[in-house]
Amino acid sequence: MSDATRSERPLRLAVIGIGKIARDQHLPAIAANPRFTLVAAVSRHATVDGLPNYHDIDDLLAADHALDAVSICTPPVGRASIAMAAIDAGLHVMLEKPPAATLSEIARIDTHASAAGRTLFTTWHSREAAGVAAARSWLADRKVLRMTIDWREDIRRWHPGQDWILDAGGFGVFDPGINALSIATRILPGAWTVDAADLHVPGGRMSPLVADLTMACGDIPVTAGFDFLRQGPQQWDIVVETDAGLLKLREGGSVLEIDGVVTRGADAEYPGLYAAFERLVRSGTSDVDVTPLRLVADAFLLARRHEMPAFSW
């Protein structure tokens, strides 16, 4: 157990990967949490004002900031080596979703963290959306008949110019789609499988812009449609039919509707993640759930691939 864990002083943290998600979500959540002190930032292409900034993790570790932990927000390809270096330096590690580029990578990181006695936290921010916990509780006492997922957004609006998302290992439409899978597997625990998948990949790219999945949780049928080219109103909905009525999680899980009764909660996804990370570090435990990533991997394994017109920004 570290000195920080024993004394419960604020955890000294560095953020690695200063892109849109780090600026929009991680940095504000850290600034609002007195249990963390943001000590440094690492990025190849960006800096954070008021902090020491480093090009890579080797430069960060050489600076000897007496860190306790790192939060890794880089694209998934290449993330494993960063996490391993952090663990080797005795640091606790928090991973932005998806936790790694492959299942074997995250298994290796998990084994390494466990052997070193360091906390590893594979985060799924959408599970912290306001309606998710209540949806899980309501469904626990009911017979679920089927689930439908519609996750449709505009890549040009949310990820402008981020070509890595459409490269090999970039996940394509599953970059947002895995958020839906993280919610679905949270509110409906059980043995999940992918039965069929259709992936639509633009010419000259490696990852899909559109995907349709047929899945099951035990004997419960689940269908999912993911679209990265949605113009107009964006859609992040999960609908669950039960023997006792209809449950809808809308707007990415922030709005819960049960038989027409709507409850809307405040956005607290990333503050919730950092609160959870702090608890894990203090207790000397880890939280490593790869279920959403496994479903995406299965979809790629089973997929019927369809070429669609070339994509440009």
Q: What is the DSSP letter of 55?
A: S
Q: List Cβ neighbours of 139 (8 Å cut-off, separation of 6 or more).
A: 187, 188, 240, 242, 247
Cα(253)–Cα(247) distance, integer angstroms: 11
Tell me, rounded to whole angstroms, the distance of Cα 109 from its chain centroid.
Answer: 16
Q: Which of 234, 165, 152 has its CA nearest to residue 202?
A: 165
Helix axes 103-116 and 79-88, enclosed angle (nearest 10):
10
Residue-level length of the chain: 313
Type of residue at 102: T
Active-site annotation holder among 20, 97, 143, 248: 97
Dump the DSSP string for 42-59.
E-SS---TTS-EESSHHH
97 is annotated as an active-site residue = yes
- Active site members: 97
